[in-house]
Structure 1
């Protein structure tokens, strides 16, 4: 029997998921950041600011921002003077980020930002290349999360840090039912109205529910070789910042 993985609430052949996820993000790339504002009421901006404060990028560091195509995290880290490689498996997402960089007067061929199409499960970078690895709202869409975590560990230098922000399961009593109803009924409708794509946002909502709970994902990070792992719940656990160190 062929191996299956989750695609939202569906189980699909493992060979199909990467292309299916790619199609979703190709469709939503142009409106991705606008939809983040609409769906979170702008709160994703505060969450990302908080995330970057935890990463503490420093001048001269080499940082890999994986699944960071539109540049939202990279643009926040760039003022630190760190050398940031923005990577994504989806070229349409990277194209949006490059366009946004040009609008900010940042030449995509020069300066502290480099744009690179990469598969998180099979990075083309040399081992021990980066001081920090970041991934925000992206790892749940990876076909083999364990492979992506091991690759993150491989490309980090000793003493390097791993930071991931991902949606999770809220721990606030009574809020779970409200959040579930919003995710399954409101989010797809908003996707249809704003991005003319209800199905893609239905998948994105479902993918959150299929992602491992915080303790389980922290265990996966440890299994990949990281030490001093930590979980920081935000908004009652609806979002969480996970971290670990390569020692």
Structure 2
């Protein structure tokens, strides 16, 4: 890993990014789901539905849902009978997820604080690994991808849902204007936190474009890596197999 990494538009030391990102998500945990609806007009729900349809979880399969925070992906996979371990480096996000699961009477999930770069699980522990809107906040993305590969069984599947680079002519300009100007103001209005949402938008801009991220997944050891753009690449599903 290089001596500095991106924290939004700033370059900071790796240890500093980990602490700063932790602060961001502790700040936004309680308003995270409301803000997701406000920022995407509810579209994030459709993207997550499409993501889980792509995963095709089956009864009895063991999944690690990394950066699973408030439980959106885990709840959807649990409906299919999957055995889901929900992990997140931020315990405030996990607390929100556990409370949501309690209120919805969703049982059978395992909740465990974890750093994506240094997982405690044994080799070949899971049938599938999912991470939704979390990989761009990881300090050392290649390390996290290698850990994902390590904990998957042979034939295991990796799935990542993340914001990406939109390639529709004209749309990207409109979206840039919206995200940079309006999203921080929504954060200020709804979450009383303008700066955290400014970082979250900036982190999208610093995330590798689809072909480069696909190459990073291949370099971690995955085969049959595929990219499925949604809305022209506004978000994308990356997937791969552990051969």
**Same fold per TM (> 0.5)?**
yes
Aligned partner of 2:163 in structure 1 is 167
Report how far residue 23 of structure 1 moved.
0.2
Aligned alpha-carbon RMSD (Å): 0.8
The partner residue of 1:213 within 209, 212, 223 is 209
How many residues are paired up?
242
Contact 1:81 1:112 in 2 (8 A): no
Aligned partner of 1:72 in structure 2 is 72
Separation (CA, whole Å) in 1 of partners of 2:117 and 2:79: 29
Q: Does 1:37 align with 2:37?
A: yes
Aligned partner of 1:63 in structure 2 is 63
Aligned partner of 1:181 in structure 2 is 177
Report how far residue 93 of structure 1 moved.
0.2
Q: Say which SS state the counterpart of residue 162 (structure 1) adopts.
A: strand
Report how far residue 197 of structure 1 moved.
0.2
Separation (CA, whole Å) in 1 of partners of 2:85 and 2:143: 20
Q: Which runs of 4+ in 1 moved over 4 A?
A: none
Aligned partner of 1:193 in structure 2 is 189
Q: Say which SS state the counterpart of residue 22 (structure 1) adopts.
A: helix
Aligned partner of 2:52 in structure 1 is 52
Report how far residue 168 of structure 1 moved.
0.4
Report how far residue 15 of structure 1 moved.
1.6
Q: Does 1:103 align with 2:103?
A: yes
Of 13-22 and 150-159, deviating more is 13-22
Aligned partner of 1:131 in structure 2 is 127
Separation (CA, whole Å) in 1 of partners of 2:108 and 2:226: 29
Report how far residue 112 of structure 1 moved.
2.3
Q: Say which SS state the counterpart of residue 182 (structure 2) adopts.
A: helix
Report how far residue 176 of structure 1 moved.
1.0
Report how far residue 181 of structure 1 moved.
0.6
Contact 1:35 1:191 in 2 (8 A): yes
Report how far residue 51 of structure 1 moved.
0.1
Report how far residue 205 of structure 1 moved.
0.2
Contact 1:120 1:151 in 2 (8 A): yes
Aligned partner of 2:219 in structure 1 is 223
Q: Say which SS state the counterpart of residue 124 (structure 1) adopts.
A: coil
Q: Does 1:146 align with 2:142?
A: yes
Aligned partner of 2:27 in structure 1 is 27
Q: Say which SS state the counterpart of residue 230 (structure 1) adopts.
A: strand
Cα distance per residue 1:138-182 (max 9 Å; x no partner): 000000000000000000000000000000010100111111111
Separation (CA, whole Å) in 1 of partners of 2:57 and 2:108: 12
Cα distance per residue 1:178-198 (max 9 Å; x no partner): 111111101100000000000
Contact 1:67 1:87 in 2 (8 A): yes
Contact 1:228 1:245 in 2 (8 A): yes
The partner residue of 1:240 within 225, 232, 236 is 236
Q: Say which SS state the counterpart of residue 121 (structure 1) adopts.
A: coil
Provide TM-score, normalisation by structure 1.
Answer: 0.97
